[in-house]
Every structure is written in structure tokens, then in C-alpha cells.
Structure 1
């Protein structure tokens, strides 16, 4: 896979759209690390480099951005605060998923433009508003369990419609009414708010909507969601870095030791995305969602009100996602 990936870089378009920007990132990163003597960061933070080698690949190949790996691993396994995990997730995705987006553009991988533009516009409002007014109000433990519980319900719903109902899929959205376009914008706003809280969310949120309601194929919805998460990550990381100025030193250190891995890992995932079928993409998504949920149960051990919130979140997700699938079935009939 890596050999075919590298050999495909020889054409003009990948060179202009991908190789030059990635080479620029390496030059800047190497220069900074050398002149500031930061190589010792790898001694203390190597576990994040290892995490994001895997996480960046998942970011490129699925609708779960790299933050979907980084956030739960950091908060659940390494007991890093949700605020640091969120800021790191946004910052590292602004590098890795931008590289994946450049690869998607260079290789002309299919995108759904209506979905991209409408949800992208809503997502920008959502991530800005969520960063300023929503994220500071969400308790850490509740944020973790709501995150994994909601997406567990989506994983179950996606499995049912793919393997039980055997849904029909389409390569692009149908002609949308003004009301349906507004829905896509609002889902983008919600996804942007989730990105502001967890460091990712617009990708899986909008992906779930267009695949459930409209039957959009995972092979088209996934790269489109990657591009959407890129926009949220760039805006979110800039806000935390310069506007709010609360980017923690720990998040910056984690970011520095992961840059050289994600800038190639995410495009590798995007490259494979164009070569596998949609059900293989879905199976990988099920595995990630289930692993996140099981890890949260063992590490957080929710009880009382936290368990109740988790159950209610899961049930709400089931209702929402199966309602969306019923809308798609009515449209097909």
C-alpha cells in the first residue's frame, strides 16, 4: 500500500496539490525542532506519537476524524484533561486532515458538493459559537460518556440498515428543497458545536445524517466528511491558539511530536479509501465506535446520574437515527 501510495505521487497534480505543501510542513517542523532544541519532547510524549500514527490513518479512511481516536485515548487511557485533549485534537487535525484533504483534491476523489457547502457553512457557525459559549459548560465525565454513547447508537443503526435492511445507496444527494437544505445547515451547526466540545464531531454528525436520511454511499460521504472536519479543525485550533489563547503547553508538546506522522498517515488512509468498498469502510467504523464505548465503560465506570445520562443519550441516538432511516425508506418507496 505504501509503495503504491508513494509511486502515485509522480503525477503533476499530486505534486502541486499535495507534495509541495507537505514538504513545506516538514521543512518548518524540522527547522523549529532543531533551532529550539525540542527533540527531547519525544522522550516524554512518545505515546502520543504512537497513538496518532494509528489515529491519523483512521482520520483519512473514515468519517471518524483523528480526534475521535485522540480524544478518548487521551482522556480515558492516559487520564489527560478533556480541555487538553480537545485542543490537541483540533490542532493535530488541522495538520493531518488538511493533508488528507489535499490528497483527496489531488486525486479527484468524489465529494458531495451540496452536502459539503451547506454543512460546511453551518459547521463554521457551530464551531465558533460552541467554542465561545458551549464547551466551557460541559462537565468532563459527562462529555466523555455522551460522546461514546451517542455514536454507539449510530453504529448500531448503520449496521442494521447495511446488513439487515440492505439499504440502497446513491452517489449524490437528490434535488433538495429549501427546507432540506436548511436541515443540512443545522446539522452542520450541531456538528460544529460537537467539534468545539470534543475536538471532532462535524464529520460523524453530518455523515450519519446524509447516509441515514438520503442513503448517500459511504464512499462519497466519508471523503466529504474529512474535508468538513478539516475546516472545523483549522478554525477551532486558530481560535484556541490566538483568539481565546488557551492552547495549553501540554497540547502544544503533544502536537509537535505528532506532526511528522499525521501529515503522511491521514493521506495514506485517504488513499486506501478510494480502493475499498463501502461496507469495508462501514465495518471499520463499527469497530472504532465499539472500542471507544467499551473503553469508556471500563475506565470511567459510570454509575448513578452519569449512567442515566449515558443511557438516555444512547436511546435518543437510536430514536434519531432510526427516524432518519425511516425517512430514507419512505423516499425510496
Structure 2
């Protein structure tokens, strides 16, 4: 910034710096990456094009989530390696497929409403098993059969495709799967999902810069003014999760998910057809997540 004399970018884009002070903290402290804050705020509040928001989200997480990952590894914060490796393999395939062939086909308003509707259903499912069913949790996954390993890879592929469309997704997608189906503790699943999103963000950013060549100047400028903040905010969030209990982590997720949905609904003001699509997405999510919770029981611990 000094060499190019680009300090004026902060005057024009300071609102993104402020956004990512909070976004980067959430990225390190929860399974919702910084893109889960950046994407809805940029598209809903600042009316920034979804493709710019997506590219920025990937690029900024390649910095912030990497910083958080380095902190997690340096401090030897516990992660689930089976979950990480299998979902990471699937996520790599998913973000390549999604970036090249799927993301260009998704209309902006539909992308926004489907995003918030699907994760609202996850928030409800997580609340039910934490506060109504009072689930037990475990610190590692059980020994997985070949079929269960393939399941985890497929969930990673879906998460990678979501990351390609929204700028984040593999973290919360795989997090929801392992916490709901296998009862993996949020304290283990959260830092693992941070590392997963780091790999997706780096690959996605490189694809947009070097393969597709569509990293917009606007997205790049936002990226520059946010780097100093996310390099500190994301590791601080990763530090915080070692100091709070898993229920507090879950409550943070509920608040983020509800805020995203309410903001999207009142800013987009969806029409009847879009409301129907959002409702269908929400109900599909409810069906998927409650199927996972019903498949989770104490026999999973054996």
C-alpha cells in the first residue's frame, strides 16, 4: 500500500474494513467463515454484486482463515483429522466443479435467499438437539465404514460447490454433518471446519485469478483494505473458542444464522415465487438435518 500510494482506498472502502473486523472474528470463532458475514452484508446491505461479494469472500478468507489455521496448528488446538482429510478431498473437487460449471448459472437473488434459508434450517436442527434432546457429544469420529467415508467425501463435494457459489459453505456444511450425525463436539468440529474453509478459500481464489481471470478490481480493492484486520481478527476468534464452552459456540451460530435470514428477507423483499423457492429450500434443509439427527444415537459411540 505504501509503495503504490493506495492509502486512499481506505477512505473509499472503510465500510468493508469495519465489516471484516467482525467477520474475521466470527470466521475464527465459529464454523461460519468470514464469507458468511461478508457475503450477506455486501449483497444485502451495500448492494454489491454477488459475484464481487463471492470473489472477495474467497480472497479475504485465504488470508484470514489461513492466519486462524496457523494459530490453531501452532497452539495444537484439537482437530478431527479423519473429518478434515475426507471432507477436504471432496471439497477440492467440489470447489473446482462449482467454480467452473455451477456458480455462473445461479441468479443473484435466488443465491442470497437459498443461502440464508438453508442455514436457518440447520440452526433450528442444532438448537433442537442441543437444548431439547440434550445430545451427548464425542471428541473424535467413530471408526467409519467405507460407505461412511464416501458420505463424508460427498458432503465435502457439496460444501465445495456451496463455497464456489457463495464464497463459503464447506465449513458449515461439513460441520452440520459431523455434529448432527456423529455428535462431534462443536469445540472439535469448529477449528476443523476453519482449516477446511482455508483450503477451499485458497483454491477458489487461485481459480478466479489464474484460471477464470475474473477477479474484479472492486473485489481486489476491498481485499486490500481488509487484510490487516483479518490477519488479527481470525486468530483472535480461534483463540476465543478454546476459552468458551460448546453451547456458547452454538448460541453464537444461532444469532448469526437468524440475523442473516431476517436481513435477507427485509432487504430483498422476495416475491411470491422466490418465497416459494426459499420455503422449499428451508423445508428441504429441515428434512436433511433432522434425518441426520435421527440417525445419530448413542450406538454411534461404539
Same fold per superposition (TM over 0.5): yes
Aligned partner of residue 3 in structure 2, secondary structure:
helix
1:155-234 maps to which residues of 2 (within 5 A)? 155-234=123-202
Match of 1:318 among 276, 279, 286: 286
1:1-333 maps to which residues of 2 (within 5 A)? 33-329=1-297, 331-332=299-300
In 2: Cα distance, 1:332 partner to 1:50 partner: 43
In 2: Cα distance, 1:72 partner to 1:46 partner: 17
1:331 is displaced (CA, Å) by: 3.2
In 2: Cα distance, 1:260 partner to 1:313 partner: 37
Aligned partner of residue 277 in structure 2, secondary structure:
helix
Residues 121-159 of structure 1: CA deviation (Å, up to 9, x unaligned): 000000011000000000000000000000000000000
1:239 is displaced (CA, Å) by: 0.6
The TM-score with structure 1 as length reference comes to: 0.90
In 2: Cα distance, 1:37 partner to 1:84 partner: 24
In 1: Cα distance, 2:185 partner to 2:109 partner: 34
In 2: Cα distance, 1:222 partner to 1:318 partner: 21
1:304 is displaced (CA, Å) by: 1.6
Structure 2 residue ranges without an equivalent (≥5):
none
In 2: Cα distance, 1:280 partner to 1:220 partner: 14
1:330 is displaced (CA, Å) by: 6.6
In 1: Cα distance, 2:79 partner to 2:297 partner: 23
Aligned partner of residue 293 in structure 1, secondary structure:
helix
1:213 is displaced (CA, Å) by: 0.3
In the alignment of these two chains, the number of paired residues is 301
Structure 1 residue ranges without an equivalent (≥5):
1-32
Q: Is the 8 A contact 2:28 2:68 kept in 1?
A: yes
In 2: Cα distance, 1:329 partner to 1:172 partner: 15
Aligned partner of residue 246 in structure 1, secondary structure:
coil
1:332 is displaced (CA, Å) by: 4.8
Residues 233-279 of structure 1: CA deviation (Å, up to 9, x unaligned): 00000111111110000000000000000001000000011111000
1:303 is displaced (CA, Å) by: 1.7
In 2: Cα distance, 1:81 partner to 1:245 partner: 17
Seen in structure 2, the aligned counterparts of structure 1 residues 181 and 332 have a Cα distance that, compared at 3 Å, is: closer
In 1: Cα distance, 2:240 partner to 2:252 partner: 13
The TM-score with structure 2 as length reference comes to: 0.99
Aligned partner of residue 173 in structure 1, secondary structure:
coil
Q: CA RMSD in A?
A: 0.8
Q: Is the 8 A contact 2:65 2:234 kept in 1?
A: yes
Residues 87-137 of structure 1: CA deviation (Å, up to 9, x unaligned): 000000000000000000000000000000000000000001100000000
In 1: Cα distance, 2:106 partner to 2:242 partner: 37
